């Protein structure tokens, strides 16, 4: 039996943070030594950061990434380390993994399959490497003490003292024609997968399947290492190192950690993997070319069979619970907010709290972020990491959880003549329960002042009969300057509270409730958000528990509260039932169906509503969707949570100007027995 201690380390990196990224890598390698690891896989592009966007094309960025790699190189003595970076070779830039062995760079393997769908734009910056091609990378020396050298580059495998290693880099493992099959046919023992796989609901289950299946089908040990945290602003990385051997998962690292790194290790029996491989059937390579194998005279130390073969790290109970989506939403967005604050060097958050569902969800997520970070890092550690001095004497050593929450979260309720005591009480009660600072503004005089200015221009009084939208919008807009000013004074992030359902139909006031530097719930639909708030009221995240003060929020029907109280305004009366809205959005945007096709599906899914109502709601959705793309283009950055994102900058593109589905909606009206537009029934 031949046992080797391998591991993956999830890293929280930042694009173009050269010194910070390097130092986190070096600290991770120090931790690997402390854990007794011999082989370490680090995430994809972790030297430069994955989210560098068009900066990847800059020769200066490419040179700096290589300089940082050379700074890391001598710190790998006694280890085998895989680390990702962009590399220019001849006329193209490649997303590559460098293998460093015992203090020396021994080869570079470029990615063969690029992610070009969804939020990924890798083909914009990188070129895929052809399978089977191998060459050398000429690295110029920096002086007589560091001469020029040639580094093997391409579709390579490595023999480190008898341990044979190959690579699948992120997307390489998601395609049908995985490089792993070719590597297994060439006899590799271990496949390393440096990844930058963004979080999405239930995506971790897919990763576990391809890691397990890769280890089984190829008869290898498999080490998958992912990024961690909100790296560049929109994508959240959940970490979650996975290690498998010959079809058995031997270690699964924690996800959504607030530390800079999470190390997960396991002991793999190389002989057991080789035995499994001999029982498999592979198509042999057309020709075994010796140059595809880089031999390195370094043998990773064997470990005793009595070492734990179950691996280090582990998943908490919530990972296998029935309400995993609720936990993932809470923890994923909380981590995203935590990193948004600290990486933007902001000093807390400001929320315009209406007492309704959306602003309450945002406030709760911020409080959850603080509590989870404090639980993992200690209160003083979380405060220091966020750059917050919350103690009585201004020092991080004096900080308490109560004072940290107070400093980080400010909630402001802004009343107009149409605001009521129920929403005011709900907003204040929740803020107090969360430990947030709370203030109430009366902005009615500002509303009246603007109304007076406009009435003086149009020479008539504004009325609800003629000016409904304008009178609603001015109330929402006058709330923005005050909270923006508070955010500026505090150096804090103003948080937009719009959700995805509102974004779909433009049910939001630009420069009003859309104001903010980040929109953390713009990727989630309103129907789910309401269910999540009920869960949060009664159950809550593992280790934190419920927030009973949400009962006052959940008891209300969602309302913009912008019309006079006598009209009993509700969101669903203005639009349609939220479950119907989300269903038609799914049909129209995710499934790309026409209005008629969407309506036909809705009549089956919602037998409790009349076909006529469903047709009118379907028409309303498509009309509002096509009119309001300009709003979606102006929304603050949001977090990607699933395949139903409407973010036009990363996921869902639609023209700002269009024909508005006029012909398709006429077809719908005919099929539903509705009169043509403009014709009275």
Q: Go through the domains of the chain in sequence order and give each one's CATH number.
A: 3-143+150-315 (3.60.110.10), 320-554 (3.40.50.620), 575-681 (3.40.50.620)
Helix, strand, coil in percent for the chain, rounding step 5: 45, 20, 40
Q: How far apart are CA 404 and CA 426, in angstroms?
A: 22
Using DSSP, how many helices (H) and how many strands (E) does the chain show? Answer: 22, 21
Q: How far apart are CA 329 and CA 540, in angstroms?
A: 11
C-beta separation of 176 from 163 below 8 A: no
Question: Which helix H or strand E contains 261, and what residues bound it?
Answer: strand 261-269
Express each pLDDT in 251-280 by its tens digit. 999 999 999 999 999 999 999 999 999 888
User: Does residue 311 surpass a pLDDT of 90?
Assistant: no
User: Does residue 514 surpass a pLDDT of 60?
Assistant: yes
**The pLDDT of residue 216:** 96
**The pLDDT of residue 393:** 43
DSSP, res 581: H
Q: How many residues does the chain have?
A: 681
Express each pLDDT in 176-225 by its tens digit. 999 999 999 999 999 999 999 999 999 999 999 999 999 999 999 999 99
**The pLDDT of residue 571:** 85
**The pLDDT of residue 212:** 97
* pLDDT mean over 378-387: 94
DSSP string, 142-164: SBTTB--EEEEEES-EEEETTEE
Range scoring the smallest mean pLDDT among 281-285, 557-561, 565-569:
281-285
Residue 252 CA, chain-centre distance (Å), reads 20
Tokens of 631: 């709003």
User: Does residue 284 surpass a pLDDT of 80?
Assistant: no
Residue 165 CA, chain-centre distance (Å), reads 30
C-beta separation of 554 from 530 below 8 A: yes
**Per-residue confidence band for 286, with pLDDT thresholds at 50, 70 and 90:** low
**The pLDDT of residue 303:** 83
User: Does residue 415 surpass a pLDDT of 60?
Assistant: yes
Strand partners, 8: 41, 264
Strand partners, 99: 82, 107
Q: Which of 610, 603, 611 is nearest to 672 (CA)?
A: 611
DSSP, res 323: T
DSSP string, 450-507: HHHHHHHHHTS---HHHHHHHHHHHHHHHHHHHHHHHHHHHT-EEE----HHHHHHT-
Using N-to-C axis directions, what is the helix angle for 357-377 and 421-434, rounded to 10°?
0
Tokens of 479: 């709330």
Express each pLDDT in 580-639 by its tens digit. 999 999 999 999 999 999 999 999 999 999 999 999 999 999 999 999 999 999 999 999
DSSP, res 587: I
**The pLDDT of residue 27:** 98
**Per-residue confidence band for 308, with pLDDT thresholds at 50, 70 and 90:** very low
Is 541 or 320 the better-scoring residue by pLDDT? 541
Flag whether the pTM goes above 0.85. yes
Express each pLDDT in 662-674 by its tens digit. 999 999 999 999 9
CA angle 224, 229, 230 (to 5 degrees): 130
**The pLDDT of residue 313:** 54
**The pLDDT of residue 390:** 47
Express each pLDDT in 48-102 by its tens digit. 999 999 999 999 999 999 999 999 999 999 999 999 999 999 999 999 999 999 9
């Amino acid at each position: 039996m031949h046992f080797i201690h391998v591991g993956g380390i999830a890293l929280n990196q930042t694009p173009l943070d050269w010194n910070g990224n390097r130092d986190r890598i070096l600290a991770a390698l120090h931790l690997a030594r402390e854990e007794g690891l011999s082989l370490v896989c680090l995430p994809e592009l972790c030297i430069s950061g994955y989210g560098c966007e068009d900066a990847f094309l800059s020769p200066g960025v490419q040179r700096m990434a290589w300089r940082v790699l050379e700074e890391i190189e001598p710190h790998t003595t006694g280890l085998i380390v895989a680390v990702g970076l962009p590399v220019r070779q001849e006329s193209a830039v490649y997303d590559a993994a460098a293998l460093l062995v015992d203090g020396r760079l021994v080869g570079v393997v470029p990615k063969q399959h690029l992610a070009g769908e969804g939020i990924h734009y890798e083909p914009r910056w990188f070129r895929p490497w052809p399978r089977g091609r191998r060459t050398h990378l000429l690295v110029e020396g920096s002086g007589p003490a560091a001469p020029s050298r040639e580094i093997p580059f391409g579709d390579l495998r490595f023999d480190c003292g008898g341990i044979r290693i190959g690579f699948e880099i992120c997307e390489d493992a998601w395609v049908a024609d995985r490089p792993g099959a070719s590597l297994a046919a060439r006899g590799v023992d271990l496949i390393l997968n440096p990844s930058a796989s963004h979080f999405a609901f239930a995506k971790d289950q897919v990763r576990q399947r391809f890691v397990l299946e890769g280890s089984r089908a190829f008869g290898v040990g498999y080490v998958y290492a992912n990024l961690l945290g909100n790296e560049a602003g929109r994508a959240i990385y959940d970490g979650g190192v996975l290690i498998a051997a010959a079809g058995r998962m031997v270690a699964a690292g924690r996800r959504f950690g607030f530390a800079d790194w999470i190390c997960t290790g396991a002991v793999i029996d190389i002989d057991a993997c080789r035995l499994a491989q001999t029982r498999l059937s592979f198509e042999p390579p057309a020709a075994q070319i010796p140059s595809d194998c880089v031999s390195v005279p370094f043998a990773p130390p064997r470990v005793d069979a009595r070492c734990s073969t179950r691996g280090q790290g582990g998943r908490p109970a919530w990972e296998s619970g029935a309400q995993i989506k609720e936990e993932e939403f809470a923890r994923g967005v909380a981590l995203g907010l935590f990193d948004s604050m600290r990486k933007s060097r902001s000093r807390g958050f400001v929320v315009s709290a209406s007492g309704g569902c959306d602003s309450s969800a945002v406030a709760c997520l911020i409080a959850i972020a603080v509590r989870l970070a404090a639980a993992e890092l200690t209160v003083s550690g979380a405060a220091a990491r966020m750059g917050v001095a919350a103690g009585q004497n201004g020092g991080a050593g004096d900080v308490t959880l109560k004072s940290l929450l107070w400093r980080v979260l400010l909630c402001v309720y802004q009343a107009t003549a149409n605001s009521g005591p129920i929403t005011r009480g709900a907003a204040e009660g929740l803020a107090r329960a969360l430990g947030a600072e709370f203030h109430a503004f009366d902005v009615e005089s500002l509303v009246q002042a603007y109304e007076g200015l406009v009435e003086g221009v149009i020479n008539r009084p504004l009325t609800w009969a003629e000016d409904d939208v304008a009178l609603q919008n001015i109330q929402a807009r006058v709330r923005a300057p005050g909270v923006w000013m508070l955010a500026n004074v505090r150096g804090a992030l103003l948080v937009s509270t719009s959700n995805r359902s509102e974004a779909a139909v433009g049910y939001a006031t630009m420069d009003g409730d859309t104001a903010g530097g980040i929109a953390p719930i713009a990727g989630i639909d309103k129907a789910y958000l309401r269910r999540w708030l009920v869960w949060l009221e009664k159950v809550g995240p593992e280790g934190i528990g419920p927030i009973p003060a949400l009962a006052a929020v959940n008891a209300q029907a969602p309302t913009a509260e912008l019309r006079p109280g006598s009209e009993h305004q509700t969101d669903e009366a203005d639009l349609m039932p939220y479950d119907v809205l989300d269903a038609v959005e799914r049909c129209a945007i995710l499934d790309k169906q026409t209005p008629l096709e969407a309506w036909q599906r809705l009549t089956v899914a919602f037998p409790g509503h009349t076909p006529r109502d469903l047709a009118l709601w379907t028409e309303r959705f498509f009309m509002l969707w096509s009119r309001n793309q300009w709003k979606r283009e102006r929304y603050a950055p949001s977090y990607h949570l699933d395949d139903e994102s409407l973010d036009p900058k990363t996921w869902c593109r639609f023209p700002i100007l269009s024909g508005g589905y006029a012909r398709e909606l006429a077809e719908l009206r005919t099929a539903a027995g509705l009169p043509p537009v403009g014709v009275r029934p």
